[in-house]
């Protein structure tokens, strides 16, 4: 029986791998353990209630499709949630028939809405144009609407939100979302199976066609030919076309000029890198969606360190949430620094012993040359020991090198200083707070 369960679960995972990105798969599917199959219902064990709720909210549809794909139309899924030392089984609600039908027709994800999209100066124009199209697809001059920008800036969210709004307000009957690879593969399969008429019938009879990442049409001559005719057929009938790309049309290499010309018929708008405030707002929104209250310094730390795209921002927060859920550990700034060091620390400048000395001296309000002086005045001696301790944990310097920077003191003095501060931090919370405060000032200043 165990072998049968493992085989079924392996097939389900194979299906899921094709539907989700690598980070999501590693975070949310690898920890799952299949436990039993009874009457075509698979029971899987997940580590916590939070894990179950996140999985159902964000990946429930793909789980349901995978179950139906492997176990058939009558297949079912039950979560066994670990709650402290016991477990609780939760039956995954079946998708309504109309929801399944809509998913098959549109390929849209219900979580991509305008309400869940955080607006900032970087995307305000693109969002306004998208809402206009969502309210009246085919009824504006924005046809086609092409949104371009770098990887992970929210293009897919916006263009799918258009489709979801159009469906919800009844503006269209048929919506189809596909990325360029999906369009290409559907076209290739239709040629292989001699079903090009069915392919044309699928893509040319919709009221709203949304195609993601059109830059990947590059150098695919037959695919571009087919998309050219699909574009013309829809546009001539007044149907709405929405496209996304990683660059403006004029910079799309390997794309025919006649297509580039058509891409510019309507409105071309870009999404730029989010500013610091928008990055913080995105993180706060994501936390609120999951019912979590986190210290502001967590959002500030992540937003300061991750600037390239929204996907990495959300990925960092998801990693923290998953770790906290699986290990029962509160999310703190120290945990964030430790867990996200691979994405954050590479952006930090090298910390010098001189900078540590200056920051520590400034904290205690005396000149930094006192760090190297021979004085044994208590407050200066303690500050010097703290600076030695921080030099050890924040730099790669040897004990001998650290000693030389502190007035030529030997390595045994440095060892004594480090040991003294470690013991004091354990015994006295005020000392620990002082050291942590100086450490945070040093790290933030180096970002």
Going residue by residue through the chain, which has 447 residues, state the pLDDT in tens, using 9 for 90 and above.
577 888 889 889 988 888 777 667 777 888 888 888 888 888 888 877 667 777 777 788 788 888 888 888 788 888 877 654 444 444 444 333 333 333 336 788 887 899 888 888 889 999 999 999 999 999 999 999 999 988 888 899 999 999 999 999 998 989 999 988 889 988 998 888 888 888 888 899 999 999 999 999 999 999 999 999 999 999 999 999 999 998 999 989 899 999 999 999 999 999 988 888 888 888 888 777 766 778 888 888 888 888 777 878 877 887 887 777 677 677 888 888 888 876 664 444 578 899 999 999 999 999 888 998 888 888 899 999 999 999 998 888 888 889 989 988 998 999 999 999 999 988 888 888 889 889 888 876 765
CA distance to 15, 106, 165, 317, per residue, from 62 (Å): 9, 14, 21, 22
Q: Dump the DSSP string for 125-189.
A: HHHHHHHHHHHSTTSSS--SEEEE-STTSSHHHHHHHHHHHHHHTTS-S-EEEEEHHHHHHHHHH
Q: For position 306, what pLDDT does the model report?
A: 81
291: left (phi over 0), alpha (psi -120 to 50) or beta: left
- Least Cα distance to 168 among 113, 127, 217 occurs for 113
Q: For position 248, what pLDDT does the model report?
A: 92
The DSSP element (H or E) to which 28 belongs, if any, is helix 22-28
Strand, coil or helix: 211: strand
Q: Could you count the other beta carbons within 10 Å of the beta carbon of residue 437?
A: 11
The domain made up of 105-270 is a member of CATH 3.40.50.300: yes
Q: For position 291, what pLDDT does the model report?
A: 66
- Report CA torsion sign: 216, 218, 219, 223: positive
List, by residue range, all CATH 1.10.1750.10 domains of the chain. Answer: 353-445
Taking the alpha carbons at both ends of the chain, their separation in whole angstroms is 54
| CATH, range 276-347 | 1.10.8.60
**The CATH number fitting domain 2-97, selected from 3.90.920.10, 3.40.50.300, 3.30.300.180, 3.60.110.10:** 3.30.300.180
Q: CA triplet 425, 429, 432: central angle to 5 degrees?
A: 45
Whole-number Å distance between alpha carbons of 290 and 52: 12
Whole-number Å distance between alpha carbons of 27 and 366: 48
- Give the CATH class of 353-445: mainly alpha
Q: For position 344, what pLDDT does the model report?
A: 64
List, by residue range, all CATH 1.10.8.60 domains of the chain. Answer: 276-347
């Amino acid at each position: 029986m165990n072998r049968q369960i493992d085989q079924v679960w392996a097939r389900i995972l194979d299906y899921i791998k094709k539907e989700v990105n690598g980070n999501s798969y590693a975070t949310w599917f690898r920890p799952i353990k299949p436990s039993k199959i009874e009457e075509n219902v698979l029971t899987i064990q997940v580590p916590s209630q939070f894990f179950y709720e996140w999985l159902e909210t964000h990946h429930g549809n793909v789980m349901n499709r995978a179950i139906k794909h492997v176990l058939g139309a009558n297949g079912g899924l039950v979560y066994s949630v670990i709650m402290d030392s016991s477990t609780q089984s939760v039956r995954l609600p079946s998708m309504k028939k109309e929801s399944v039908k809509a998913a098959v027709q549109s390929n849209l994800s219900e979580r991509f809405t305008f309400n869940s999209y955080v607006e900032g100066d970087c995307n305000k124009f693109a969002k306004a144009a998208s809402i206009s199209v969502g309210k009246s697809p085919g009824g504006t001059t924005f046809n086609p609407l092409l949104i371009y920008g770098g990887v992970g800036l929210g293009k897919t969210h916006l263009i799918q939100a258009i489709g979801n709004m159009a469906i919800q307000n009844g503006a269209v009957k048929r919506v189809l979302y596909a990325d360029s690879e999906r369009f290409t593969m559907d076209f290739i399969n239709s040629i292989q199976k001699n079903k090009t008429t069915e392919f044309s019938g699928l893509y040319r009879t919709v009221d709203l066609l949304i195609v993601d990442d059109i830059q990947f049409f590059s150098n695919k001559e037959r695919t571009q030919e087919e998309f050219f005719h699909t574009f013309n057929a829809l546009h001539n009938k007044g149907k709405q076309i929405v496209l996304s790309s990683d660059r403006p049309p004029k910079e799309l290499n390997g794309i025919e000029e006649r297509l580039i010309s058509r891409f510019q018929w309507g409105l071309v708008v870009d999404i730029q890198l989010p500013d610091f405030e928008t990055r913080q707002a995105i993180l706060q929104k994501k936390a609120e969606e999951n019912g979590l209250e986190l210290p502001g310094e967590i959002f500030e730390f992540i937003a300061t360190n991750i600037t390239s795209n929204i996907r990495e921002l959300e990925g960092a927060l998801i990693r923290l949430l998953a770790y906290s859920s699986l290990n029962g550990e509160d999310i703190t700034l120290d945990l964030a620094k430790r867990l996200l060091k691979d994405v954050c620390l590479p952006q930090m400048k090298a910390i010098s012993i001189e900078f540590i000395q200056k920051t520590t001296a400034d904290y205690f309000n005396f000149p930094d040359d006192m760090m190297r002086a021979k004085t044994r005045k208590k407050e200066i001696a303690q500050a010097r020991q703290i600076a030695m301790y921080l030099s050890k944990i924040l730099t790669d310097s040897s004990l001998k090198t650290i000693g030389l920077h502190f007035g030529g003191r030997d390595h045994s003095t440095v060892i004594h200083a480090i040991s003294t501060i470690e013991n004091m931090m354990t015994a006295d919370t005020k000392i620990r707070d002082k050291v942590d405060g100086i450490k945070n000032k040093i790290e933030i200043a180096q970002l």
